[in-house]
Amino acid sequence: MKTIGLIGGMSWESTAEYYRIINEEVRQRLGGLHSSKCILYSVDFDEIEKCQAENRWDEAGDILASAAENLERAGADFIIICTNTMHKVIDRIMARTCLPIVHIADVTAGIIKKHGIRKVGLLGTKYTMEQDFYKDQIETHQLEVLVPDLGDREKINSTIFEELCLGVIQEGSREYFKKVIERLITEGAGIILGCTEIGFLIKQEDIDIPLFDTTAIHAKGAVEMALK
C-alpha cells in the first residue's frame, strides 16, 4: 500500500471527511483491521483565504508547495490537495515536488463519464465557478460545464465561507442550493459539488439526478492509487 500525502485544512471540516472516507474505503476493500497509510499536512486556512481574497495566489501556492515538500520528506508516495479551489496553483506546487499529484477535477471527470453524462453544472467557490483553471480541466475530458448566474454564484460563495467552512448547516441554505441545482438541471446538466464542503449541505437523496461529490470521489481516487 502506498502512503497518501494529504494537503488539508481548507477547511479542516472537509479534511476530516477525507480522512474518514479514505479509511472506510481501505477497510471495505481490504477488510479486517486495515486502514490507510497517510500523512496529513494541515495548513492555516485563514492565511490561505486572505491570499485568495487579495489575489495573492502565488503566495498561497508557495504555502501549499512547502506543505508538499514536507510530505515528500516525510515519506508520502503521492499527494492529494484536499480542496477544489487551490488546484488553481497546482503547477506551482508540482514545480517544488517530485511526487505525483492526483487532480480532483480529473478523477471527478472520469466518474462523470462513466455515468454517460456530457454536460455538468458546477457549484463551488466563486474562484472555482468563475475562473478557467477548474472548468478547463473538466472540459479536457470532453465535458461541457455550466455555472449558475452571477447572483447565485455570490450567494453560493458566501454560504461556503460564512457557513459551511465554519461547520454551520442551515436548512434555508440547503433549500437555496436545491433551487440553484434545479435551474441547472433544466439545462440538461448533471451536478458537480465542486467545493469540498458542499457535500455537508446537499446529499444525493436531496436531488433526483446524479450528484458528483468531489470530496468522496477524490478520496476514493486516492485509495485507488494507493492500492495499485
> How confident is the model over 44-78, as pLDDT tens digits?
999 999 999 999 999 999 999 999 999 999 999 99
Per the residue annotation, which of 51, 82, 83, 165 is the catalytic one? 83
d(CA 121, CA 189): 5
Task: Identify the residue whose cell numbers are 468522496.
Answer: 216
d(CA 183, CA 186): 5
pLDDT for the residue 208: 87
Per the residue annotation, which of 38, 159, 195, 196 is the catalytic one? 195
Cα radius of gyration rounded to whole Å, the chain: 17
pLDDT higher than 90, residue 222: yes
Q: What is the pLDDT of residues 117-175, one digit of tens each?
A: 999 999 999 999 999 999 999 999 999 999 999 999 999 999 999 999 999 999 999 99
What's the 3-state SS for 144-166? EEECCCHHHHHHHHHHHHHCHHH
In the residue annotation, 195 being an active-site residue is answered as yes
Q: Which domains does the chain have, with CATH numbers?
A: 4-103+217-226 (3.40.50.1860), 105-213 (3.40.50.1860)
